Structure 1
Amino acid sequence: MNNKTNFKIKERELIATRVFNTPRELIFEAHSSCKQLKNWWGPRSWPMEECTMDFRESGTWHYCLRGPNAGDESWGKVIYKKIVRPERIEYEDYFSDKEGNINSEMPGMQITVEFIDQGDATKLVSRTLFDSSDALQSVVDMGVKEGFAETWDRLEEHLAKLAIKD
């Protein structure tokens, strides 16, 4: 099975797809708590070191990725719009500051993550909608596709460790 992350760009939307050899309940749970996300969210050189989460519709997730150089940090804030366990999570994702104030100078994103049951495997589809094609291009230029692929590589490694514990 090919576990490579595939990307497609359609106007203002970035679509990432990958199949994981993991039941969807387990992969959904890996998205639903700081304890899980700290193990895999973000590129290896920018791990998540701070996280608070209220995983419910209208709840928020506030986190910080820290880079390899002193002072390198990137704060994000998510507002959950719809959660259909274990099928889909819909949320707005923003760059923010340490206090959780949204950075209006950076592009916001509307994200839908689908967890498609394929028996012992799960097809993960992440659809990220931007306000404009220019906003999408700006995050592509920042390396979002490479960071995304590496994050999902880390997710796959984390899921494998969870499977060993079962």
Structure 2
Amino acid sequence: MSQNPKAQAKANEIRLVRLYDAPVDMVWDAWTDPAQAAQWWGPRGFTLTTHSKDLRVGGTWRYTMHGPDGTDYPNIATYHEIEQHQKLVYDHGATELTPPLFRVTVLFSTVGKKTQMEMTMALATAEAAAETRKFIKQAGGDATWDRFAEYLAEQIEHKERFVINRSFDTSIDFMYDLWTQAEQFSKWLPPTGFTMSFIRADIRAGGSSFYKMTNGSSENNVTMYGRAAYLEMDKPNRLVYTQQFCDADENISRHPMSPTWPETMLTTVQFTEETPDRTRVTVTWEPHGAVTAEELETFMKARGGMTMGWTGSFDKLESHLETLLPTS
């Protein structure tokens, strides 16, 4: 069963597409087994308690999501369609006292050795969909599907990774340029409050760059140097590079605020055309080369901070795009 990843959502729908590097039976089981779902379901920092699950048409999944601030979010999902390894349809967001918030349709399809997941959330009105989009973004709800990718990678490859996605309203070719032209990505990639300048920028497969980031504060000035080595540049689909912290003379150093951070990080950026004018960016970040147990633990514990950091950069990228694209 193959679906069209470029199909447009209706005004009252929220649509999400992800491609997971795992076979469809494994993706299905991780979705439907409550013990596995507890390892990844929900935004970062949330945990999950399943009270009961009856995976059949007319059955329910009763669970509570626990927020990092201690708030509990009870939920009753009622199943309407179940086609093993292919399709789930259920109502989401009901409680004992309130009706469901929306209906979810999830389609699973095999793409080579991977699995494509297409999710559509149908709400009563376009206005309700717009409000729900805002809520999901504010709550970090899209990180659920990044956590799912991390969980699958750990199960299959026994690797710890960080994954984050964001879709942007621009063409895939233009988005690729924003990631590979120094004068463009230096305007949005640095952490919030920092500026970025290049001492050297040879951005091509086999090339490298050396850069400086500073917050420009006279009272609490922080200046960081780093270098990147570009391993793959497959325009407009994929970009792979390594990163290391350096001193001003380009000697390898450590993260100035985290001395046990891994010495080398591998960044893989996948660009996916959702429509001719909308591109999904998937960033996968992982320690590279020799890594100690302490460094790996530091990386694993920092996923929440990484989410905040990349979210800030993505927010700046959205703002930068607005300055570049013509308005109607």
Preserved CA contact (<8 Å) 1:76 1:93: yes
Q: 1:109 corresponds to which letter in structure 2?
A: F
Does 2:109 align with 1:116?
yes
Preserved CA contact (<8 Å) 1:114 1:125: yes
Select the structure with the greater relative contact order (CA < 8 A; seq sep ≥ 6).
Answer: 1
Counterpart of 1:143 (choices 133, 136, 141) is: 136
Structure exhibiting the larger radius of gyration computed from Cα positions? 2
SS at match of 1:128: strand
Deviation beyond 6 Å, 4+ runs, structure 1: none
SS at match of 1:78: strand
Preserved CA contact (<8 Å) 2:50 2:61: no
1:51 Cα deviation from its structure 2 partner: 4.0
Q: 2:55 corresponds to which letter in structure 1?
A: F
CA distance in structure 1 between the aligned counterparts of 2:66 and 2:54, rounded to whole angstroms: 21
1:94 Cα deviation from its structure 2 partner: 2.0
Does 2:74 align with 1:81?
no
Preserved CA contact (<8 Å) 2:75 2:94: yes
TM-score by structure 1 length? 0.83
Preserved CA contact (<8 Å) 1:130 1:136: yes
Match of 1:42 in 2: 42
TM-score by structure 2 length? 0.43
Preserved CA contact (<8 Å) 1:94 1:102: no
Distance 1:31 1:67, change over 3 A: same
Q: 1:23 corresponds to which letter in structure 2?
A: P
Distance 1:21 1:102, change over 3 A: farther
Q: Sequence identity, in percent?
A: 24
Distance 1:149 1:61, change over 3 A: same
CA distance in structure 1 between the aligned counterparts of 2:94 and 2:13, rounded to whole angstroms: 18
**Number of equivalent positions:** 152
Match of 1:3 in 2: none
SS at match of 2:32: coil
Match of 1:90 in 2: 89
Preserved CA contact (<8 Å) 2:14 2:133: no
1:63 Cα deviation from its structure 2 partner: 1.0
Q: 2:135 corresponds to which letter in structure 1?
A: M
Match of 1:154 in 2: 147
Deviations 1:96-134 (A, max 9, x none): 2xxxx1424xx6211110011112111110011001112
CA distance in structure 1 between the aligned counterparts of 2:72 and 2:157, rounded to whole angstroms: 32
Match of 1:53 in 2: 53
Gaps of 5+ in 2: 1-5, 159-328
CA distance in structure 2 between the aligned counterparts of 1:40 and 1:21, rounded to whole angstroms: 16
Deviations 1:32-59 (A, max 9, x none): 1211110111011222134421111111
Superposition map of 1:16-35 within 5 A: 16-35=16-35
Preserved CA contact (<8 Å) 1:42 1:148: yes
1:90 Cα deviation from its structure 2 partner: 0.8
